[in-house]
Amino acid sequence: MAKSTPNRLRVLKTFKLYIGGAFPRTESGRFLQEHNPKGQLVANFCRASRKDLRNSVVAARKAQPGWAGRTPFNRAQILYRMAEVLESRRESFESALGERAGIKAADAQAEVDAAIDRLVWYAGWADKFVQIMGTTNPVASPHFNITSPEPTGVVTAFAPRTAPLLGLITAIAPVIVSGNALVLVVENEHPSIAIDLAEVFHCSDLPGGVVNILTGLREELVPHAAKHMDIDAIATFDATDEERRLIALEAAESVKRVHNFESPAKNDWSIASAQSPYNILPFVEFKTAWHPIESGAAMGAKY
């Protein structure tokens, strides 16, 4: 941590929220404090409220159709651009992981490397997952029958409590790559890293509102997210049994999709199994289209 002049009161940054491509303060005016492993105060951050959640859902709903309407190739370009900008700021993130989270230099470097690589990895799936998950169905009539995945809409994800950078990328990338918009709720020991990451997104051609980041307390926001009628799906990482029960109960009212991800062994989010094209699957819906074709008999075909 950079040293200040003796006897000078250091001004600590208050990290804001990220909603609709802007960085507003929480409407409630509340904030929480972040400490490093030595117990030193390193930052203040906003404690998001129910209204902040509602504002984020409005921003996400507004942004989602345009994002889904982009070509898969364009979404891949933007995810790749996010990786490029993160790469250009890697020293800043390595420093933040070391100073605020107390992560050793080599481990911080490895976490940034893995986060960048994971973004590139999911960028590559943007125009390929449809081929893996879609299908052409055999039917007994003169039609093409095609089933293909489409984004489900607005997703709220409760981020992992560990891996303050890589855990976020693991939660974000598989949701937005298919065309969903995301409200990410972050409660871990170092949530300021999430707002650093929001600044990367802000400079990465990602349309405002596609990713919205709220810092705060899960116990406050989980019930509101589960009840919200304009959220289409919820993803959780490291959810407690009580959180799972509450989300399953309340989400049934609006027929939300709910998917609970399990943490990897020893919270090692860098392992290969933490990324998968099948992590995209919980956040898509399958649409089947029938397209008439001229029958072979009508064309005079003989068998």
What tokens were used for 196? 């650093």
Nearest residue to 228 via CA among 66, 56, 63: 56
Confidence of residue 4 (pLDDT cuts 50, 70, 90): low
Name residue 118's amino acid.
R
pLDDT of residue 202 exceeding 90: yes
Q: How far does the chain reach from its first CA to its final CA, in angstroms?
A: 80
pLDDT of residue 238 exceeding 60: yes
pLDDT of residue 262 exceeding 70: yes
User: For residue range 94-115, what is the model confidence (pLDDT) as tens digits?
Assistant: 999 999 999 999 999 999 999 9
pLDDT at residue 51, as a whole number: 97
Three-state secondary structure string covering 102-131: CCCHHHHHHHHHHHHHHHHHHHHHCCCHHH
What tokens were used for 134? 């879609």
What tokens were used for 133? 């998950």
pLDDT of residue 148 exceeding 90: yes
| CATH number, domain 16-291 | 3.40.605.10
